[in-house]
Amino acid sequence: MNKKILAALSAAVISIGTIGASASMMADTTTTTSKLVALNTDGTVISQGYNFFDTSVVSGLSGIKQIACEDFKENIFFYLTESGEVGSVSKYNRSEYNALSSWENITYIDAGNDVVFGITADKTLKICGTNASYYRAAQNWTDIAWIYAKEDAVLGITESGTVVATGLRANDSRVKNWTGIKKAVFDGTNFWGINESGDIVTTESKFKASNIKKGAELLGDFKEIECMTGYSTAGAYSRLLALKNDGTLVDITNFNSAYGTYEATVLYNDVSYVSAGAEHYVIVLKDGEIVSDRMVPPAVVLGIDIRVNGKYVDSDVDPYIKNDRTMVPVRAIAEALGAQVAYDDATKTATISRNGYEVKITMYADSAFVNGEEIALDAAAETVNSRIFVPVRFVSEGLKCSVNWKAETKSVIITD
């Protein structure tokens, strides 16, 4: 068995080689360190990360069907045996999990924050851990086929494809009308699911199916969805990872729970399984190789609206703040003002024509030209997700408009 480490775990990307890992592989992270626990197809367990989870610790585990790591805790993971028993491997004496020794006929497990869940053979739910009292409602669930635990919520999918959820913030009344659901996740604010047709459904009102693609081939035919949640100087954020039936792993970006953008990018091909923690995701490729990568939220503040002449501008990319400068998508604003925009890729220059004015701006230049006259910019133009962003002051000086900032609603107000 090849377990060659190609790079240190703290590096941006690691590989643990081709180990024949099965789909029952989980990853857990903290903000500073990672641990990877992987399950081989022969039922043995390997790990890499914290010293506690070294080979000597997990080498005695065999005949394992599934494993799950507790959210935010580096010192414990759980395992499900082929015979339906659940156990734990812990660095310390975790007495809150003593009840696991009485669990029998378990078919599936998952773990959240100080809690572990198990589906019994009769499709009911077992709960154990310090935070078990938060999930008392789940003890009444029946006909459960699959569960997903994340931070302070747990979701169940019934045999008929309906969604139930409970926890500190997970109110399942919003998904009562969902049917035919195969997998679902909760990002701390919204529910996301994959239905029997392979389409993504969500309670996020800002989400548009047309925004999850870079090419129509990324729409539909998904089989798995994962959620990475964390916190940064910009506030809470989520990264949604969706896996297609053909093995394409797509990142559907949602940097902020309330104000997200969802344009998708392909991360990997030939993926058989994906699991995510707070900042890292881990995938198993179809050839058995395990790869992990770290995804960090941008150091920006999102949630900024643009209004042109009293109307909201519908843009597929959001404004952001960088170095105390508000950056806005120039094409969306120009078109809302009735201007024409052309782009010369050879010179990286955008030309905007409006009311007898011709504005030229070059990417990463600190000045622009209005009818040939140079004007200084307080921040250079740049591209994000193939869109040109300029400092908002450029709109007033270059396009001859009035620009105001409304702090209470985080709105850029542009008046012709």
What residue spans define the domains of the chain? 13-294, 305-415
**Which one is predicted more confidently, 70 or 147?**
147
| CATH code for residues 13-294 | 2.130.10.30
Beta bridge partners of 126: 118
Is 80 exceeded by the pLDDT of residue 5? no
Q: Which CATH class is domain 305-415?
A: alpha beta
**pTM check: above 0.95:** no
pLDDT class for 178, splitting at 50, 70, 90?
Answer: very high
Is 50 exceeded by the pLDDT of residue 280? yes
Is 90 exceeded by the pLDDT of residue 106? yes
Mean model confidence pLDDT for the chain: 76
Give φ, ψ of 386 to 5 degrees.
65, 20
The span from the CA of 279 to the CA of 160, in Å, is 33
Is 90 exceeded by the pLDDT of residue 195? yes
* Span of 195-209, 283-297, 328-342, 362-376 with lowest mean pLDDT: 283-297
- pLDDT (mean) for 223-237: 67
E-strand stretches of 323-376: 325-329, 340-344, 349-354, 357-362, 367-370, 373-376
**Which one is predicted more confidently, 75 or 84?**
84
Is 80 exceeded by the pLDDT of residue 299? no
What was the pLDDT predicted at 10? Answer: 26
Tokens linked to 217:
């081939």
Q: For the chain, how many helices (H) and strands (E)? A: 3, 36
* Span of 43-52, 131-140, 235-244, 386-395 with lowest mean pLDDT: 43-52
Type of residue numbered 232: S
pLDDT class for 326, splitting at 50, 70, 90?
Answer: confident
What was the pLDDT predicted at 295? Answer: 67
* Span of 63-67, 255-259, 363-367 with lowest mean pLDDT: 255-259
Is 80 exceeded by the pLDDT of residue 263? no
Is 90 exceeded by the pLDDT of residue 104? yes
The span from the CA of 88 to the CA of 101, in Å, is 9
**Which one is predicted more confidently, 201 or 318?**
201
Measured CA distances, 166 to 150, 224, 244 (Å): 11, 21, 27
**Which one is predicted more confidently, 3 or 276?**
276
Q: pLDDT, tens digit, for every residue of 336-391?
A: 888 888 888 778 888 988 888 888 888 878 888 888 888 888 888 887 766 788 88
Q: Work out whether strand 125-128 and strand 144-150 pair parallel, antiparallel, or are unpaired.
A: unpaired
User: Which of 119-123, 238-242, 329-333 shows the highest mean pLDDT?
Assistant: 119-123
pLDDT class for 258, splitting at 50, 70, 90?
Answer: very low
**Which one is predicted more confidently, 179 or 399?**
179
Is 80 exceeded by the pLDDT of residue 284? yes
Is 80 exceeded by the pLDDT of residue 274? yes
Determine the 3-state secondary structure of 393 from DSSP: helix
What was the pLDDT predicted at 259? Answer: 43
